[in-house]
Amino acid sequence: MSDELLALHGIETRIGRYHILHGVDFAAQRGRVTMLLGRNGAGKTTTLRTVMGLWRASAGRIMFDGRDIAGLGTPDIARLGIAYVPETMGIFSQLTVRENLLLATGREGLTDERLDRLFSLFPALKERFAVPAGVLSGGQKQMLAIGRAVIEPRRLLVVDEPTKGLAPAVIQVLIDAFRRLKQSETTILLVEQNFHMAVSVGDDVAVMDDGRIVHTGSMADLAADDALQHRLLGFSLAVHQ
């Protein structure tokens, strides 16, 4: 069995008249955290949305565990065990925290074991369990969005810029949570601009520019190479945290 859980081959995506992705090729290895980096407008969010079937690829293949999922609808992709946390978090503000979590579970529902695991990742959610999600702080909403994605065991976690706009203390909570998810060998594809987060949790990296992958390798190698960062990203990750 290949180590690649998710592999994109020549993915092209058009949104209306705009040609956003121009043949994206990269893979996410099982049990590892793959960082997807790039400048604003490079196509990172489009790539994640294309993986989830929210935008259709006009060409190319998206292989998930050996099966091409490029033609599947979003619900079918999610049912394969792929959880998605969008940049906007996608929480249902009029539903309570409990109801948000409940919708992400199957027939087993919210078991004590699942809730204990969730609250060990994000203790703040425990005391806010019964309140409408709309009243949570930005950090708590992000915790809920990630918690909802992992309330059930998932095969792949797709997360888009979870630290955007959050305070450093909250970012540290998220880093700790991703580290623990790594230990449980969850495969994660993570778009992130925060250097501390990227270096702390990333194993592999793919860098995008203008709708293409321009670099793949280990996160540690990229983090250690200032010149490469400048060439690929136009800035040093160390000053972009």
Partner 1 sequence: MKRDWAPYAVLPVLVLIALPAMGVTNWLVLTVAGLAMGAMLFLMAAGLTLIFGLMDVLNFAHGAFITLGAYVAVSVVAPLAGWAMADSWVMNLAVFAVAIVIASIVSGAVGWGFERVIVRGVYGAPLQQILVTMGGLIVAQQLFIVLWGADAIPLLKPTAFGGSIVVHGAAIEKYRLIALALGLAVFVALHLLLSRTRVGLLVRAGVENREMVEALGYRVRRLFVGVFVVGTALAGIGGVTWAFYQELVTAQLGGDMTILVFIILIIGGLGSVGGSLVGAMLVGLTTNYVGFLAPTVSLGSNILLMVLILLWRPRGLFPVAHG
Name the minimum Å distance from CB 111 to partner 1. 16
Residue 5 amino acid letter: L
Decide whether 73 or 217 has the Cβ nearer to partner 1. Answer: 73
Decide whether 134 or 168 has the Cβ nearer to partner 1. Answer: 134
- Bridge partners (DSSP) of residue 212 are 209
Does residue 54 bind partner 1 (CB under 8 A)? yes
Q: Tell me which of 64, 84, 178, 195 binds partner 1, using CB under 8 A.
A: 84
Decide whether 52 or 198 has the Cβ nearer to partner 1. Answer: 52
String of b and e for 114-144 (b: at least 16 CB within 10 Å)?
bbebbeebbebbeebeeebbeebeebbbbbb
139-158: which residues touch partner 1 (CB under 8 A)? 148
Does residue 67 bind partner 1 (CB under 8 A)? no
Q: Tell me which of 6, 24, 35, 91 binds partner 1, using CB under 8 A.
A: 91
CB 238 within 8 A of CB 227: no
Does residue 129 bind partner 1 (CB under 8 A)? no
Does residue 52 bind partner 1 (CB under 8 A)? yes
Does residue 167 bind partner 1 (CB under 8 A)? no
Burial class of residue 66, CB neighbours in 10 A (0-12, 13-18, 19+): exposed
CA of residue 146 relative to chain centroid, distance: 9
| Rounded CA separation 128/229 (Å) | 40
| Rounded CA separation 227/44 (Å) | 22
What is the residue-wise DSSP string for 79-146? HTTEEEE-TT----TTSBHHHHHHHT--TT-S-HHHHHHHHHH-THHHHTTTSBGGGS-HHHHHHHHH
Binding mask of the shown chain, residues 29 to 48, with x at each position contacting partner 1 by CB under 8 A? --------------------
Q: Tell me which of 39, 90, 180, 212 binds partner 1, using CB under 8 A.
A: 90
Name the minimum Å distance from CB 149 to partner 1. 9
Does residue 8 bind partner 1 (CB under 8 A)? no
Q: Tell me which of 63, 104, 115, 214 binds partner 1, using CB under 8 A.
A: 104
CB 223 within 8 A of CB 237: yes
Name the minimum Å distance from CB 148 to partner 1. 8
Q: Which has the closest alpha carbon to 166: 132, 134, 190, 143? A: 143
Does residue 214 bind partner 1 (CB under 8 A)? no
Which residues of this protein are in contact with partner 1, per CB under 8 A? 52, 54, 73-75, 78-79, 84, 86, 88, 90-95, 99, 102-104, 134-135, 148
